[in-house]
Amino acid sequence: MGSDFKGRTVVVTGAASGIGNSVARYFADRGAHVFGVDLNDSVHTEIAKFPGGGHQGIAKDLTAPGASGEIVDQVVAAAGKVDILVNSAGIVLLDKALELSEQKWEATLAVNLSASFKMAQAVGKVMTKAGYGRIINLASQASVIGLDEHVAYCASKAGIVGMTKVLSMEWAPHGVTVNAVSPTVVETPLGKLAWAGEKGEALKKQIPTGRFAQPEEVASLIAYLAGEDAGMITGENILIDGGYSSI
């Protein structure tokens, strides 16, 4: 533990579980004041477990009209500012492109892309006025390569990268950096379950490092981009996939 982010206010979406939870805890361990957002009500108890005290869970459907503005208003009312946003909330709905339903397509884009933009836009208004901010968007290796049955997911994550580049260009003069992080499979509890057995072992053989990513590795990279030393890094999509996308 440390105090790298003491005094910083951090908002993490998708914070009840998975990568988002690991990221939120990583910041809390290092002194930040964390607001965790999730559709699941368990976000309240999950965030309450973090060290330091004062952290808050916000149960909210990010796709609901006006949700992003309400979340940011709540954070600013409680903390007075927003220094860092990590857009981690996302869903994966798989099917072959010819069979993919309109509902799966719309839901994937709504959660993964539109909700991330709306959160970035809402905090961007606060950050650009304050003259400081760090936004990190969770993309995926699927943002740069094609994956079978992932047409909606790949499209949403490629959209995240395009969005990141535009926001970084527009907001850099106001002291706000915007970057994307693109992991391969991450060994969260859900990731371990989804990629257990032969399917997972087969995929690992395609990754030069021979393994999947750990949640703490993703959190560490995000924290670097959120820190003072990364002030000249903006508009980037950083792959954390063991070399898979470079093959």
Query: What are the catalytic residues?
Result: 153
Tell me the C-alpha distance between 190 and 173, whole Å. Answer: 39
Q: In terms of Cα–Cα distance, which of 16, 56, 13 is closest to 32? A: 56
Q: What is the largest CA-CA distance in the chain?
A: 51
The two tokens of residue 229 are: 């030393």
State residue 136 phi and psi, 5-degree precision.
-125, 120
What b-and-e string marks burial along 58-89, b requiring 16 or more CB atoms within 10 Å of the CB? bebebbeeebbeebbebbeeebebbbbbbbbb
Tell me the C-alpha distance between 155 and 6, whole Å. Answer: 36
Beta bridge partners of 33: 9
Q: If you ran DSSP here, which 8-state letter would residue 32 be given?
A: -
Q: In terms of Cα–Cα distance, which of 129, 153, 132, 157 is closest to 143? A: 157
